[in-house]
Structure 1
Amino acid sequence: MRTIPDPLHAPHVPAEQEVRYYMRTPAVTLNIAAPLSDALALMREHDVRRLPVVVDTGELRGMITQGDIRGADVMRIAGLDPLDIAHALRQVKVYEVMTEDPIAIVPETGLREAALLMIENKIGGLPVVDEQNRVVGIITESDLFETLVQQLDTRDPLYG
């Protein structure tokens, strides 16, 4: 797991620009040994496109996205029986398709740094972890867009 940035060596950002105030918490997480069917059900239930994958202690081990599971839709379109697809999703475990060693950030990370990490790595969200690498939240592109809109609304009388 790569936690970026190290809060001891990161440039200081104003407290009001720290991720901690904009991340979604608690993050919806998934156990590393869960079947893909559980991942898909959690994503649908919580209307999210990505889930941090954890071990029993809550420590981050990976990320799984809708794209990782998208093969199920391909199977359906190809004409496979929905019961066969459901059976297949119960047989494959999350750890078999997740992204291992995801980039993670700490609550003190600045919004700008989080946005740059997403842009540079072409990812749509970052898990936020504590000192023990336990997931405490997640920040996504949508969260950053909402923050941008709020800041524009308060700064520009044409938008507010």
Structure 2
Amino acid sequence: MTNKTKTTVPVEQEIRYWMRTPAITINLAAPLSEALALMREHDIRRLPVVVDTGELRGIITQGDIRGADIMRVAGLDPVDIAQALRNVKVYEVMTEDPIAVTPETSLREAALLMIENKIGGLPVIDENKRVIGIITESDLFEALVQQLETHPRF
């Protein structure tokens, strides 16, 4: 057995300082129409998908739902498209078991996870896998700008 020493980072470099909370989430049994409405209402591009207890089960993005725009361009009736969005459930198109981070995760680690996995956001979960926030590429840019303003030598 090896002893792993946890590297500590200044609190301002932890996710908890930068995450958006509470996260806007959606139940996995909700229709796609509800997911799309939530994204538009809150001007966001991704929703953590949860069960009734708030436990993370997946993530759904605008890209997952983008097929509706393709159907419209293809000439399908908007009424048929709306019906399809009501009939398809979130769990049918979500990414299951997404990469998630904790409030103590460093900004650097979150950024590396996003880069390595080509994703734009990470759900933030507690010890029971309940979603408590979300960190996005925009949040990381905001942190970078603040760091650059605070430490101009960088």
Q: TM-score, normalised by structure 2?
A: 0.94
SS class of match (1:45) = helix
> Which residue of structure 2 lines up, in the alignment, with residue 133 of structure 1?
129
The secondary structure found in structure 1 opposite 2:35 is helix
Letter in 1 for 2:131: V
Distance 1:60 1:148 in 2: 28
Cα root mean square deviation, aligned: 1.3
Instruction: Determine which of 4, 10, 14 is the counterpart of 2:10.
Output: 14
Give the 5 Å matches for 1:35-50.
35-50=31-46
Residues 24 and 87 (structure 1 numbering): CA distance in 2 closer, same or farther, change over 3 Å?
A: same
TM-score, reference length from structure 1: 0.90
Residues 147 and 41 of structure 1: CA distance in aligned 2, closer, same or farther (over 3 Å): same
Question: What are the Cα deviations for residues 137-156 of structure 1, in whole angstroms up to 9, with x where unaligned?
Answer: 00000000111112112222
CA distance in structure 1 between the aligned counterparts of 2:101 and 2:84, rounded to whole angstroms: 33
Equivalent-residue separation in structure 2 for 1:108 and 1:80 (angstroms): 47
TM-superposition CA deviations, 1:92-121 (whole Å, max 9, x none): 000000000100000000000000000000
Task: Report the equivalent of 2:90.
Answer: 94
CA distance 1:72–1:122, shift in 2 (3 Å): same
Alignment of 1:83 with 2:79, yes or no, is yes
Q: Which residue of 2 is the match for residue 4 of structure 1? A: none
SS for the counterpart of 2:113 is helix
Q: Which residue of 2 aligns with 1:55?
A: 51
> Which amino acid in the other structure matches residue 108 of structure 2?
R
The 2-side partners of 1:147 and 1:102 are apart by 23
3-state SS of 1:79 partner: coil
* Residue 149, structure 1, aligned to residue 145, structure 2: yes
Q: Distance in 1 between matches of 2:92 and 2:136?
A: 24
Structure 2 gap ranges (5+): none
Q: Aligned residues, how many?
A: 150
| Letter matched to residue 112 of structure 1 | R
1:105 and 2:101 correspond: yes
* Amino acid corresponding to residue 69 of structure 2 in structure 1: D
Match of 2:26 in 1: 30
Identity percentage over the alignment?
79
The answer as to 2:96 corresponding to 1:117 is: no
CA distance in 2: counterparts of 1:79 and 1:145, whole angstroms: 39
